[in-house]
Structure formats: C-alpha cells, structure tokens
A and B are shown apart, each in its own frame.
Chain A
Amino acid sequence: MIKYVFRRVLLLIPVILGVTFIVFTMLALTPGDPARLVLGESATDEAVAGLRSQMGLDRPFLTRYADYLGDLVLRGDIGKSYVTKRPVAKEILSCLPSTLKLALSSMLVAMAIGIPIGIVSAVKQYSLFDSATMVFALVGISMPVFWFGLLLILLFAVRLRWLPASGYSSLRQMILPAIALGAQSVSVLARMTRSSMLEVVRQDYIATIRAKGQRELVVILDHGLRNALIPIITVLGLQFGGLLGGAVLTESIFSIPGVGRLLVDSIKMRDYPVVQGGVLFIAIAFSLVNLAVDLLYAYVDPRIKSQYK
C-alpha cells in the first residue's frame, strides 16, 4: 500500500513538468505585455522596457523556462507576483482558506441532498418522487451558477434580508454560496447515486438478503449503498478536485477572494508567475484528490485493496 502511494506521488513529477511547460508555452504565445499592464497606459515606453527586462521577459523562452524549473526544483521557489511583488506561494495560500471553505461547504450541501435523493429515487423507481426529483436534477444541472446565485441573492438578501449577499467569513455568509455552487453537484450526485443504486438493488445477493428477512433499511443502506459507493466517490472526488481550482463565477457573485478569482485576475494582468503557480497548484491538488479517491476505494471495497501493491 505504501509502495503504491509512493509510486503515485512519483507520478506527479511528469504531471508537474507537463503542466508547467504547457502553461509556460501558452502564456508566451498569448498577446499582452505584463510590464505594460502593470505600469498602465500612461507609463512611458522606456519605463515599460525597463520593467520588462527587470522581469526577465527580454530573455529567450527556453532560458526563462529552464530558470523557472531550476528555481522550482532546487529551491521550491515559484517566483513573485509581477503585480503585488509578493511571493506567489503566499498569494495562493491567502486565497486557499476561502476556496477550501467554499468547496467543502458546497460538497456538504451536495452530499446531504444529492445522495438521499438518489437512493430514494432508485428504491422507488418510476414513482412520482423519482420523476419529480430527476426533473429537478436536470434543471439543477442546466441552470448556470451565476444565474442561480443571483436569484438566491435577490430572494434571501434583497427581498427577505435573511442572509448577507457577500463575504465568506461567517457561517451565515457561506450559506448562499454553498447552495448556489452545491446545486450543480446535487444534481450530478443524485443522478449518479440513482443509477448506481439501481444496478446494485437488482443483484441476486440483494434478493437473497431480502429473502432472509433483513429489514429493508438495512438492505438498502448497508448492502445496497455500500456496494454502490464506488462511482459516487469517483464523482465526489472529481467535483471536489475541480472546486479546489476555484469556482470563478460563484466567487465573483458572492465577492469571495478565492483561487479562481486570483487566477482569472492574474490572467487578465498577464501576471505569469501567479498563473503558473496557480495552475501548478490546481494540477497537484487534483492529482492528490484523485489519489485520495483511489485509496478510499480500497477502504470501501476490500477486493480493490488487494490490487494495490
């Protein structure tokens, strides 16, 4: 098991190399001059040229990439922001708490609503509840998060004045963003749980357990859900990994300074070090979440555990 984890972590190296190279190339090919954007339109040409060479942007592409990798590997240094001059790691870390809060709370909303809906829909297949919730799920998936978020703000912050429209420090402030962002995952999760459960409840062993007179609740939750969990965990992992990269729209609507907004603002400003650092962070976070999901499989299904060598 430890060997397996070690191997998986080692696999991060090619991922990091690939990601940094791709991002580096894309940024180099994108029009836009970081020095000009930092200094503004009024700055003189000489000042811009000076800053460009100070940023090292007048050197050839491969030299810049080699230097970046060198700093990354030898010193673990991913550079400083062109705009704020702060270390990139600090910039990302300062956005991380709000992103984690948002990701966790919306996953919580998704799980608390999505999984029960999925189970009931599967057990009562083709019932009114099933059809109604699946339509609801379809609406949830189709509704853009900025639209739903604004509707929530209009109702709960403007009309009813129950909840604040922006911010992220208190629990009350997190309710609306968590629901807005979670709604997408609720739908995905409900549908996934339903189809996975449907497959499981038709298995012979479920019929056997029922025939032995086990209580229906135990049949469904203990024997059914446990075996249906693998695809559900996969979906949860993918959603969570995605959310760690930030949810730009939700963050913008609710004024939450998260990783997504940091990245978009940095792209607009051509703040290369922050964009590179941000994408690198997302890639690593995503890989690690995937690894965690794979390890969870082993916990859920002992048959898989025996394969991890």
Chain B
Amino acid sequence: MRVRMLRAMALAAAALLFVPGAQAAKAKDVLSVATAYDARSLDPVATNDVASSNVMCEIYENLVQLNDKGEVVPMLAESFKQLDATTYEFKLRKGIKFHNGEEMKASDVKFSLVRAAKAPAVSHIAGDIDVDSFKTPDAYTVSFKLKNPATGFLGGLVLSAGNIVSEKAVTAAGESYAMNPVGTGPFKFVSWAKGNMIELERFEGYHGAKPKFRKMVLKVIPEPTNRMIELESGGVDIAYELSANDLKRALSDPDLQVLRVIDNSTAYLGFNTQKKPFDDVRVRQAISYALNTKTIVETAWRGIGKLAAGPIAPNVNYSDPSLKPHEYNVAKAKALLAEAGFPSGFKTTIWTNEKKERVDMATIMQSQLKEVGIEVEIKVMEWGAYLTGMNAGEHNMYIVGWTCQSPDPDLAVYAPFHSSKKGAGGNYAFFSNPKVDELIMKARTMKDGPERKKAYFDLQKLIIAEAPWVFLMNGEQVVGARKGVRGFKPSVFGFHYKANTYFE
C-alpha cells in the first residue's frame, strides 16, 4: 500500500516536471498578423495602397507623425517650423541609424522628399514640393518650399509617401529596391514570399523604445473566413478585416478581443450630375429622401461601420459633428420628383463593382426607389472596367467609396467635388458648383483655426444641400486579436502600427 502511494507520488512529481506550463514562462517572441492583401511594393514612393503601407510603417519613419489627438508632431525631426506660407524647415534628430548602419542626415531627407515629389503614385500627397527649393545648410537642417500653399501638406507627410529612405541603400539597390527596403523604423526587412508572407525582425539599433517581440510575420490570407479560423486556432495573434459574418463569433469567443475604429472612408451613392435627370438638384434630393439609408447600411453591413452624415468622415479634422444622417421621407421625395417633372418616376441604372455589400445595398435601393416610381437596373462591374466607365462619364447612379488619406479634410473634398477633377480625377459625380470650388480652394490654404473650421463646416452643409452624393456609411476597421495581445490600436488609415504590441 505504502509502496503504491510512493510510486503514485513519484509519478505525479515527474508529471509536474513535464507539464507544458513550465515552458510557457518563456515570453512569446513572434507576432503573427493575418492581412487580406499582400503588399505591392516596399518602396514608399512606388505605391500608396493600404496593404503596402501596413508593412512600410514598421520599416520606415517620417519627419513627423500624428499624436493621439491627431496633431502633427515631430518624429525623425527634432522640431519643425513653417517659415512662410510655402516654406518649411526641419531640424533633424542626431544619431539616428538606418538599418544598414548609416546615420540619417539632411541629404537623405532631401533625397527622400525629392523622390516622392517626382513619383506619380504619391503625387497627390508630395507633388506640391518644389524640388529645386531644397536647402541643407548643415547635416541636420532641411528646408524646402511648396509650389502652392497647402495647409494639409504636413498631415500628408505622416503617410508612407513621407517615409525617409537611406540614399545610399536606394542608389545601391537600384531597381530591386522595392524588395530590399532600408529605413530607420523599429523593424528591418527579412524576407518576402510574394502572395504568402513577409517577415520582419526587430532592429537592435533602433533609436526609440525597442519592440517587446523579436519577429513579425505578416501572412496574406485573402479569405475572411480563413483569417478568422487562423485567429481562433491561434495560428495568428491578430487578424485584419473581420467580416460581418465572423464578427459575432469573435465577440462571443472568450479567447478573442475585437478592436475597432471608424476609418476615414465614406461609401456613397453618387449621381452623374452632368446627365439628365440628375442635373436637377430636386431629383437628387428626391432620391436622398426616398432612400432609407439606415436600413440599407444595417442590412448590408450587419453592425460594421457608421451611418455617414456628410462628405468628411468623423475622424478627419473639421468634420462637422452636428450633421445628422439625411431624413427618410417618401412623401417629400414624391413631391420633389413631381416638381422636377417626374411625377411617375423614370428608368435608370445603378453601377457597382462586385463587392458583396455594395451589391446588397444596390438591391435594397432598387426596391426602395420603386416606391417612388424609379425603376432601377443594377449593373455589377469588374473594378477596372467600372473605373474606366466612370472616368468616361457613362454612368448614371453609382456606388463607390472615397477615403481621405490624411487627417486634413482637403483630401476628402478636393478630388471628389472640385470641378477641375471631373471624371478620372476623383469627381465621378461630374459635380460642378462655383461656390463649392471657391470654398475648397480658400480652405485648403487657410491657417488652422476657427476660420478654417467655419469654411469647412459651410462647405459640408453646401455639399449636402447640393446632394451630388447620398452618404451611406463610414467604414470601420474591425481587427480581431487573441486575448493576451496588448498595446495594439487600429488606425483610421486602415494600416496599423504593430511595434507597440506586447503579450500578456
């Protein structure tokens, strides 16, 4: 009996030694992230897409960054000054090393920004820089001019277009630079298996607080269901863009957390205002009244996103918080249609690309518009053909989204509403209104402050009254993470900084 007990105790002790918990004490060292798309390029001036920025934001840094309040503050710069309406001066921090061991100097900054200014992919952000105006009085001071005054310029510099690259590395790598990026960021590039994954490693010479994990793996998993499954099974720590289908499951899973933020995109139903009958503002307003956007958005997106109220998304500066989503009122819609000469409605088309939620929204609109006599045919198109058709102005009504890629509202309104940007420039509504043009041009050069705020508030009200768009919804970044993941905060730009993440 005693022998048996002793044996049992010995066994138990042995078992204790081998429990997996003994190993769990070792800190987790790798952060795995599931993303929906692969990067296109890791050269910051070659592209401005979200998936590429999502990788580049770990490898590179910028002169300036946004703080929690959305204000532009120094990053690689020690300080910066705006000398006059178009001249900016940056004092650089000393002793900052690139991943190749070189120190960052004013020449690298000049090289990076000149490169960005000349690059077509980022010309809407950096194209205003006057490439002949650079001055580098010493190794840590850079100044340059813009061709035109633009208050939103500094805000744009926080994007990947403003990444500072090592002149030596870019020159040495030549055409293959996009696959051999060198920055000053917390992570350096290790490998890229196209369409599959990108690996990054902690940069031990990083000047700031070093990340708490050694390696970052970004896996490309296009199917949302698979991203969710990988997250559930612990294959990844973070999964981007959870679908509405998976959101409920993620919320009820005790091992997971859902991190979300309303982003800077606005999905809308636009009118080709050059074409009859949409050249009549009453018709546009009538359709606005005839659509119950709350039902449309909630049915198609099932709890993701926020009902949009105006052209500037809520997290962009000077978005007017007092704006309400438009009123649903069939009687008013009918009255306006009759006034415009269409008492029994008309026939038209809605264009959309094959994104499921957009097709769903179009289908609901079709049935709601029938109530006021408007017969809609839905035309689902492939993205490339869709853009070409819209650029040529062949569309009637169309569903698409616009993302303000900067904290400054200029990018939210200039391209989509200014008359000089009709068609391919972003103004797919072919909208033209002299008052709107004037306000956009005035506000983009004004100094930040109450006057600029008023200009943008007036502009938003004016655009809503002119109704070139029916505002549908502001998108939402829905990121799933394992329970122990801490320090991760999704960003309104759709690409997220992961270096501050740690495990608990």
A and B physically associate = yes
Contact indicator B123/A47 (Cβ below 8 Å): yes
Contact of B193 with A43 in the complex, beta carbons under 8 Å = no
Query: How many residues from A make CB contacts under 8 Å with B?
Result: 47
Please, what's the 1-or-0 string for A240-273, where 1 marks a CB less than 8 Å from any CB in chain B? 0000000000001111010001100100111000
Query: For window 10-56 of chain A, which residues contact chain B by CB distance below 8 Å?
Result: 30-33, 36-48, 50-51
Out of B178, B230, B232, which one reaches A166, CB within 8 Å? B230
Contacts of B402 in A (CB 8 A): 41
8 nearest CB pairs, A to B: A32-B384, A257-B195, A47-B120, A31-B385, A31-B388, A165-B229, A47-B123, A257-B196
Are B48 and A42 touching (Cβ within 8 A)?
Answer: yes
Of the listed stretches B1-9, B216-224, B277-285, B449-457, chain A binds B216-224
- Report yes or no: B222 in contact with A252, Cβ–Cβ below 8 A: yes
Given known contacts A43-B48, A84-B194, A270-B384, what 17 new A-B pairs fall within 8 Å (CB)? A31-B388, A32-B382, A32-B384, A32-B385, A36-B424, A37-B387, A39-B121, A43-B120, A83-B41, A84-B40, A85-B175, A153-B225, A157-B233, A165-B235, A166-B230, A253-B223, A254-B226
Is B396 in the interface zone, CB < 8 Å from A? no
The answer to whether the Cβ of A150 comes within 8 Å of any Cβ in the partner chain is: yes
Please give me the residue from chain A that is nearest to B404 by CB atom: A42
Q: What is the CA–CA distance of A262 and B225 in the complex, to the nearest angstrom?
A: 21
Per-position 1/0 for A120-159, Cβ under 8 A of B: 0000000000000000000000000000001001000110
Binding site for A on B (CB under 8 A): 38, 40-41, 46-49, 120-121, 123-124, 127, 175, 178-179, 193-196, 219-223, 225-226, 229-230, 232-233, 235, 382-385, 387-389, 391, 402-403, 405, 411, 415, 424-426
Whether A41 pairs with B121 at a CB distance below 8 angstroms is: no
Q: Does A79 contact B (CB under 8 A)?
A: no
Contact B225 A150 (CB under 8 A): yes
A270 vs B388: C-alpha distance in the bound complex, in angstroms?
12
Q: List 10 A-B contacts (CB under 8 A).
A: A30-B384, A37-B384, A40-B48, A47-B123, A84-B41, A150-B225, A157-B229, A158-B233, A166-B226, A255-B222
Q: Smallest distance from the beta carbon of A42 to chain B beta carbons, Å?
A: 5
What separation, in Å, do the CA atoms of A150 and B229 have in the docked complex? 11
Complex alpha-carbon distance, A41 and B414, angstroms: 13
Q: Of B179, B233, B424, which one neighbours A161 at CB under 8 angstroms?
A: B233
Which residues of chain A from 167 to 215 have any CB-CB distance to chain B below 8 Å in the complex? Answer: 168
- Shortest A1–chain B CB gap in Å is 40
Q: Are B49 and A45 in contact (CB under 8 A)?
A: no
A183 to chain B, nearest CB (A): 19
Q: Is the CB of B389 within 8 A of A31?
A: yes
**Cβ distance A195 to chain B, nearest Cβ, rounded Å:** 37
**Complex interface: chain A residues within 8 A of B38 (CB):** 257
Query: Is B46 a contact of A41 with CB atoms below 8 Å?
Result: no
Contact check, A85 vs B41: say whether CB atoms are below 8 A apart. Answer: yes
Residues of B within 8 A of A98 (CB): 196
Cβ of A252 and Cβ of B223 under 8 Å apart?
yes
**How distant is the Cα of A41 from the Cα of B411 in the complex, in angstroms?**
12
Asked whether any CB of chain B lies closer than 8 Å to the CB of A91, the reply is: yes
The reply on A235 being an interface residue by CB < 8 A is no
- Bound Cα distance A42, B124 (Å): 7
Cβ of A95 < 8 Å from any Cβ of B?
A: yes
Assembly CA distance A272 to B219 (angstroms): 26
The answer for the CA separation of A53 and B365 in the assembled complex, in Å, is 40
User: Do residues B383 and A268 form an inter-chain contact, with CB atoms below 8 A?
Assistant: yes
A86 touches B (CB below 8 Å) = yes
Distance, CA A166 to CA B425, complexed state (A):
39
Determine if B384 and A47 form an interchain contact, defined as CB atoms under 8 angstroms apart: no
Closest residue on chain A to residue B385 by CB atoms:
A31
Q: Which residue of B lies closest to A169 (CB)?
A: B196
How far apart sit A57 and B385, CA to CA, in the bound complex (Å)?
A: 17
Q: Does A231 contact B (CB under 8 A)?
A: no
**For chain A residues 75-90, which have a beta carbon within 8 Å of chain B?**
83-86
Chain B residue contacts of A261, Cβ below 8 A: 195, 222
Asked whether, in the complex, the Cβ of B425 is within 8 Å of the Cβ of A44, the reply is: yes
CB distance from B137 to the nearest CB of A (A): 32
Provide the residues of chain B in CB contact with A39, threshold 8 Å. Answer: 48, 120-121
Q: How far in angstroms is the closest Cβ of chain A from B387?
A: 6
Closest Cβ–Cβ distance, residue A153 to chain B (whole Å)? 7
A85–B178 alpha-carbon span in the complex (Å): 8
User: By the criterion CB–CB under 8 Å, are B426 and A42 in contact?
Assistant: yes
Q: How far is the CB of B117 from chain A (nearest CB, A)?
A: 12
- B20 CB to nearest chain A CB (Å): 16
In the complex, which residues of chain A have a beta carbon less than 8 angstroms from the beta carbon of B121?
38-40, 43, 47
Q: What CA separation (Å) do A83 and B42 show in the bound complex?
A: 12
Q: Which chain A positions have C-beta within 8 A of B46?
A: 85
Q: Which chain A residue has the least Cβ–Cβ distance from B384?
A: A32
Pick the contact of A257 from B220, B226, B415 — CB < 8 Å? B220
The residues of B that contact A153 with a CB separation of less than 8 Å are 225-226, 229
Interface centre among B47, B127, B223, B425 (most CB of A within 10 A): B223
B388 neighbours in A (Cβ, 8 Å):
31-33, 36
Q: How far is the CA of A270 from the CA of B30 in the complex (A)?
A: 36
Chain A residues contacting B229 (CB-CB under 8 Å) are 153, 157-158, 165-166
Residues of B within 8 A of A32 (CB): 382-385, 387-388
* A36 touching B175 in the complex, CB below 8 Å, given contacts A84-B40, A257-B194, A257-B196: no
Contacts of B411 on A, CB cut-off 8 Å?
Answer: 42
Chain B residues in 8 Å Cβ range of A262: 195
Point out the residues of chain B lying under 8 angstroms from A50, CB to CB. Answer: 120
Of the candidates A164, A252, A268, the one whose C-beta lies within 8 Å of that of B235 is A164
Report the minimal beta-carbon distance from A304 to chain B, rounded to whole angstroms. Answer: 41
Question: Which B-chain residue is minimally distant from A168 (CB atoms)?
Answer: B196
Which of these, A38, A95, A253, contacts B195 with CB under 8 Å?
A95
Q: Looking across the interface, which residue of chain A has its beta carbon closest to that of B37? A: A265
CB distance from A55 to the nearest CB of B (A): 11
**Inside 8 A of B196's CB, which chain A residues have their CB?**
98, 168, 255, 257
CA distance A46 to B120 in the complex (A): 8
Is A165 touching B226 in the complex (CB atoms < 8 A)?
A: yes
